[in-house]
Amino acid sequence: MTVTIREAEKADCKRIGEISMLSWQFAYKHILPADYLAAISPEDRAVRFERVLESRSLLLVAEAGETIVGFISGGRCRDSVHSDYDGEVYAIYLDPDHTKRGIGKLLIESLEKQLTAEGMTGVVAWMLVGNEAGYFYEGLGGEKIAEDKLQIDGVSYPEVAYGWKIADR
């Protein structure tokens, strides 16, 4: 299967919204309440990613054939977690039917290339504790660099930040 990474367009946001919903329901099924996950709307997620495009944040999609199977968004780090990490993965999600095939790594490498072109040298990615994606970030050379809490529907969930230097990979 050949996978192509390209910049997202507004027409892609419907599929990005679907992938966001599916991947949240898959990745967080043992972390977040079932009713919260069931209420996630692909249409609401699509609108969210249309706003990401409008904000000029990086938004890339992975296509297998004619089908979008994953996406990543990122840019300059939104908070000063650690001075060595000036770039950030805001979101990276794959269709659950397309995980563990190297697509996430291709998305990360494409984002890193764009961040490097903008002078950034380190990347941070936040995730909810309990999400198996921690193994993915560790495989990229990521180390836990910070902890925090994320509020979802009035409930506080622990999250962790992984950081890595782009040049180290």
The pLDDT tens digits for 17-35 are: 999 999 999 999 999 999 9
Query: What's the pLDDT at 81?
Result: 65
Give CATH for domain 3-168: 3.40.630.30
Domain positions in the chain are 3-168
Each residue of 70-90: pLDDT tens digit?
999 999 988 776 678 999 999
Q: Which residues contact 158 (CB under 8 A, 6 or more apart)?
A: 128, 129, 147, 148, 149, 150
Each residue of 94-146: pLDDT tens digit?
999 998 889 999 999 999 999 999 999 999 999 999 998 889 999 999 999 99
H helices within 55-154, ranges in order? 103-117, 133-139
Instruction: Locate 72 and state its tokens.
Output: 């990543």
Output the CA–CA distances (angstroms, integers) from residue 160 to 41, 100, 143, in the order listed.
26, 22, 10
